[in-house]
């Protein structure tokens, strides 16, 4: 079920269950009365949740929830439009819908995923506001046929005035049941989810400015706007004279956040935590998306419990290793699987051609802002860093910077260099600076990628072996890396640097600045400086 449907059905379950069975006079035939929407359908449902429950439902999102509550303000306060953004599966939709459930205020939710073009988006919003249902009774038609933005503004204003009047206690022509419960007030909020998809329909680049401007065009204090996107504001705004919405950033989850999120609702907490201590580290290096991780872990955890023999027994230290070797063969295929899923190029496509505000400084493929405010899968970040290192470091030093297990070789770097070596290093460094980022062949990129992705973060060494194995054994994995490389090229993080006249093979060059590479590295806690060639 789509989020839109689930949002509606959550709001409507109480009502649809009340559909009465009527008996025709004189006849035994039963007729089911369809659900007749009322203004009650614009609030989440009758079972609101407390602030404490809201906060505890979303580990790692306390700051964002409190920020949202603050920006939405007390009952009946006007608000400026919000732009809620963050990576896929970072909880944006769930947090917002549950926040409205807590506040018990009316809202209209439309996702640009289910509404696949402008007309369906406009009509979905109008249907909800006009309490119209597309069903057999209405011939599955919308309340209004609306394709043009100018028509939409007129219909929207008309519908909003009716709803607001009713909420203010002036029912007008609408047949509504009096709203019950605390909190509804007279504000109505319009939520646009998956806004990034609008760019696919918006060939003239006029729809997004139109949507961002609706707040000013309507000029109704009783209407709040929330835009949800999995790409950053930079990919939207160009100075075209509308007020930019207030950004609310859903940052990438830390490993600890993910541990808490995934452990929620687990019956055997100790068993699950011992399971996570093995799998979470390596999986997090590939993806931090809650959906992907929970799907991968649900079957893997079943295997882990089976490997543990007695399903309710927590593994003790002495049997841990034996149990691990039993469980280990299942990890690599699962890691490969998730790598394939999270390497889909769609995410990186979000990074293409960002529109920049005037005056921002461009560095390499992206400019340097304080934080990394775009989304990219963890594996793509590793590939980006590999390309950066390949361009930045002389190829002759690869062997000394990466040891056989992939870690930075501290032993070799500690060796005291001779005077002559120092001099040579200085010369090559100067050359490097003069030349700018160097080109590199694909093989070198892949070798560096393989080395740095195997850097250990977890206490269990065996898990590293699994990660290595999964990469060495499965050639399909490499094809996914190639797919990601092509996405990095499309996004201009890596450019093709022409082919080498001797080898005839294509060479690549990273366009990413050191500043940007450091930010990417920080976002995945990768010790970049350890691998960079410096004097
Ligand atoms: N902090 C969290 N606590 C509990 N569950 C979470 C948390 N973050 C995400 N989830 C769960 O992950 C799933 C995906 O979340 P959701 O759809 O809200 O993400 P999203 O950011 O809106 O994703 P998208 O950009 O794809 O629309 C949901 O099942 C949600 O409950």
How do residues 323-349 score in pLDDT, each as one tens digit? 777 777 778 777 777 766 665 544 443
406 lines ligand 1 (CB under 6 A): no
Contacts of 74 (CB under 8 A, 6+ apart): none
User: Is 483 a domain residue?
Assistant: yes
- Residue 210 CA to residue 154 CA, distance in Å, equals 14
> How far away, in angstroms, is 57 Cα from ligand 1 center?
11
> How far away, in angstroms, is 372 Cα from ligand 1 center?
20
Ligand 1 binding pocket mutation candidate from 59, 84, 91 (most atoms within 8 A of CB): 91
Q: What is the pLDDT of residue 12?
A: 44
Q: Contact, 277 vs 248, CB < 8 A?
A: no
Position in ligand 1 atom list of the atom nearest CA 250: 21
**Residue 414 pLDDT class (50, 70, 90 cuts):** very low
> How far away, in angstroms, is 203 Cα from ligand 1 center?
29
Say whether pLDDT at 534 is over 70. Answer: no
Q: What is the pLDDT of residue 243?
A: 78
**Residue 16 pLDDT class (50, 70, 90 cuts):** very low
Same domain, 57 and 166: yes
290 lines ligand 1 (CB under 6 A): yes
User: Is 151 a domain residue?
Assistant: yes
Say whether pLDDT at 186 is over 60. Answer: yes
Q: What is the pLDDT of residue 98?
A: 96
What is the mean pLDDT of the segment spanning 386-407? 75
Q: What is the pLDDT of residue 364?
A: 36
**Residue 458 pLDDT class (50, 70, 90 cuts):** very low
Please state, rounded to an integer, the average pLDDT across all residues of the chain: 75
User: Is 477 a domain residue?
Assistant: yes
Q: Is pLDDT larger for residue 481 or for residue 277?
A: 277
Ligand 1 binding pocket mutation candidate from 86, 90, 259 (most atoms within 8 A of CB): 90
Q: Look at ligand 1, atom 10, and give the residue with the nearest C-alpha.
A: 91
Domain boundary among 194, 226, 250: 250
What is the mean pLDDT of the segment spanning 42-71? 92
What is the mean pLDDT of the segment spanning 429-434? 56
**Residue 478 pLDDT class (50, 70, 90 cuts):** low
What is the mean pLDDT of the segment spanning 251-279? 92
User: Is 139 a domain residue?
Assistant: yes
Say whether pLDDT at 385 is over 80. Answer: yes
Q: Contact, 311 vs 363, CB < 8 A?
A: no
Same domain, 470 and 427: yes
Q: What is the largest CA-CA distance in the chain?
A: 109
Say which range, 150-154, 262-266, 300-304, 499-503, has the weakest mean pLDDT: 499-503
Q: What is the CATH number of the domain that holds 181?
A: 3.40.50.300
Same domain, 403 and 327: no
User: Is 154 a domain residue?
Assistant: yes
Q: Is pLDDT larger for residue 176 or for residue 481?
A: 481
Domain boundary among 229, 250, 271: 250
Q: Contact, 108 vs 129, CB < 8 A?
A: yes
Position in ligand 1 atom list of the atom nearest CA 86: 21
What are the DSSP E strand ranges found in 131-257?
Answer: 188-193, 223-229, 246-250
- Residue 250 CA to residue 85 CA, distance in Å, equals 6
- Residue 356 CA to residue 135 CA, distance in Å, equals 44
386 lines ligand 1 (CB under 6 A): no
Same domain, 102 and 42: yes
Nearest alpha carbon to residue 343 among 510, 488, 481, 490: 481
Q: What is the pLDDT of residue 396?
A: 77
What is the mean pLDDT of the segment spanning 195-206? 84
Q: Look at ligand 1, atom 3, and give the residue with the nearest C-alpha.
A: 58
**Residue 426 pLDDT class (50, 70, 90 cuts):** low
Say whether pLDDT at 527 is over 60. Answer: yes
> How far away, in angstroms, is 88 Cα from ligand 1 center?
8
59 lines ligand 1 (CB under 6 A): yes
Into how many domains does the chain fold? 3
Same domain, 469 and 423: yes
Measure the CA angle with vertex 379, ends 373 and 383; round to 5°: 90
88 lines ligand 1 (CB under 6 A): yes
Same domain, 332 and 418: no
Task: List 499's β-bridge partners, or say none.
Answer: 506
Q: Is pLDDT larger for residue 472 or for residue 482?
A: 482
Say whether pLDDT at 136 is over 90. Answer: no
Q: Is pLDDT larger for residue 18 or for residue 49?
A: 49
What is the mean pLDDT of the segment spanning 88-109? 95
What DSSP string describes 339-352?
HHHHT-THHHHTTS
Domain region containing 482 = 379-531
Q: What is the pLDDT of residue 8?
A: 54
Domain boundary among 234, 250, 266: 250
User: Is 413 a domain residue?
Assistant: yes
Same domain, 59 and 184: yes
User: Is 460 a domain residue?
Assistant: yes
User: Is 314 a domain residue?
Assistant: yes
Q: What is the pLDDT of residue 123?
A: 94
> How far away, in angstroms, is 60 Cα from ligand 1 center?
11
Say whether pLDDT at 317 is over 70. Answer: no
Task: List 188's β-bridge partners, or say none.
Answer: 223
Q: What is the pLDDT of residue 4?
A: 57
231 lines ligand 1 (CB under 6 A): no
**Residue 309 pLDDT class (50, 70, 90 cuts):** low
Of 128-137, 246-255, 299-308, which one has max mean pLDDT?
Answer: 246-255
Say whether pLDDT at 44 is over 70. Answer: yes
Same domain, 43 and 174: yes
ipTM: 0.98
Q: What is the pLDDT of residue 505?
A: 72
- Residue 360 CA to residue 174 CA, distance in Å, equals 50
Same domain, 413 and 522: yes
Q: Look at ligand 1, atom 4, and give the residue with the nearest C-alpha.
A: 58
Same domain, 80 and 226: yes
Position in ligand 1 atom list of the atom nearest CA 58: 3
248 lines ligand 1 (CB under 6 A): no
Q: Look at ligand 1, atom 7, and give the residue with the nearest C-alpha.
A: 91
What is the mean pLDDT of the segment spanning 494-521? 76
Same domain, 87 and 231: yes
How far apart, in Å, are the Cα atoms of 69 and each of 37, 62, 375? 28, 11, 25
Percent of the chain with pLDDT over 90: 29
261 lines ligand 1 (CB under 6 A): yes
Say which range, 11-20, 66-75, 398-407, has the weakest mean pLDDT: 11-20
Same domain, 442 and 508: yes
Q: Look at ligand 1, atom 1, and give the residue with the nearest C-alpha.
A: 58
Q: Based on the number of CB atoms within 10 Å of its own CB, is 425 exposed (0-12), middle (13-18) or buried (19 or more)?
A: middle
Ligand 1 binding pocket mutation candidate from 290, 347, 377 (most atoms within 8 A of CB): 290
């Amino acid at each position: 079920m789509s989020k839109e449907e689930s949002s509606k059905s959550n709001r409507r379950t109480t009502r649809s269950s009340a559909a009465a069975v009527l008996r025709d006079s004189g006849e035994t035939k039963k007729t089911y009365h369809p659900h007749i929407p009322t203004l009650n359908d614009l609030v989440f449902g009758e079972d609101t949740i407390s602030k404490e429950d809201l906060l505890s439902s979303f580990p790692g999102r306390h700051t964002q929830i409190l920020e949202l509550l603050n920006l939405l303000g007390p009952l009946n306060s006007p608000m400026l439009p919000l732009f809620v953004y963050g990576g896929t599966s970072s909880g944006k939709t769930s947090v917002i819908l549950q926040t409205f459930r807590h506040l018990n205020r009316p809202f209209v939710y439309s996702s640009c995923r289910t509404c696949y073009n402008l007309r369906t988006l406009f009509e979905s919003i109008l249907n909800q506001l006009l309490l119209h249902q597309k069903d057999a009774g209405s011939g599955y038609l919308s309340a209004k046929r609306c394709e043009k933005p100018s028509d939409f503004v007129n219909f929207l204003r008309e519908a909003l005035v009716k709803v607001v009047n009713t909420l203010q206690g002036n029912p007008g022509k609408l047949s509504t049941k009096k709203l019950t419960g605390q909190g509804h007030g007279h504000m109505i909020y319009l939520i646009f989810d998956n806004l990034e998809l609008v760019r696919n329909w918006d060939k003239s680049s006029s729809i997004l400015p139109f949507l961002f401007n609706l707040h000013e065009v309507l000029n109704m204090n009783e209407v709040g706007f929330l835009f949800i996107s999995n790409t950053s504001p930079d990919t939207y705004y160009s100075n075209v004279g509308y007020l930019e919405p207030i950004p609310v950033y859903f940052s990438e989850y830390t490993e600890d956040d993910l541990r808490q999120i995934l452990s929620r609702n687990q019956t055997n907490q100790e068993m699950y935590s011992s399971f996570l201590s093995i799998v979470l580290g390596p999986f997090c290096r590939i993806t931090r998306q809650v959906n992907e991780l929970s799907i991968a872990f649900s079957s893997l955890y079943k295997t882990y419990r089976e490997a543990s023999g007695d399903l309710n027994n927590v593994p003790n230290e002495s049997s841990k290793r034996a149990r691990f070797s039993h469980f280990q063969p299942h990890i690599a295929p699962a890691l490969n699987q998730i790598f394939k899923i999270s390497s889909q190029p769609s995410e990186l496509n979000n990074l293409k051609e960002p529109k920049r505000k005037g005056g921002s400084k461009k560095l390499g493929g992206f400019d340097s802002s304080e934080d990394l405010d775009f989304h990219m899968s963890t594996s793509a970040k590793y590939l980006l860093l590999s390309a950066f290192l390949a361009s930045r470091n002389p190829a002759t030093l690869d062997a000394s910077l990466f040891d056989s297990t992939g870690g930075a070789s501290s032993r070799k770097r500690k060796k005291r260099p001779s005077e002559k070596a120092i001099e040579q290093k200085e010369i090559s460094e100067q050359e490097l600076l003069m030349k700018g980022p160097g080109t590199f062949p694909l093989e070198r990129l892949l070798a560096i990628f393989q080395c740095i992705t195997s850097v250990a973060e977890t206490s269990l060494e065996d898990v590293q072996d699994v990660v290595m194995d999964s990469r060495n054994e499965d050639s399909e994995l490499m094809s996914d890396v190639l797919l990601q490389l092509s996405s990095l090229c499309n996004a201009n993080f890596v450019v093709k640097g022409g082919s080498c006249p001797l080898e005839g093979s294509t060479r690549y060059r990273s366009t990413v600045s050191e500043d940007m590479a450091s930010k990417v590295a920080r976002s995945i806690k990768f010790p970049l400086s350890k691998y960079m060639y410096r004097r």
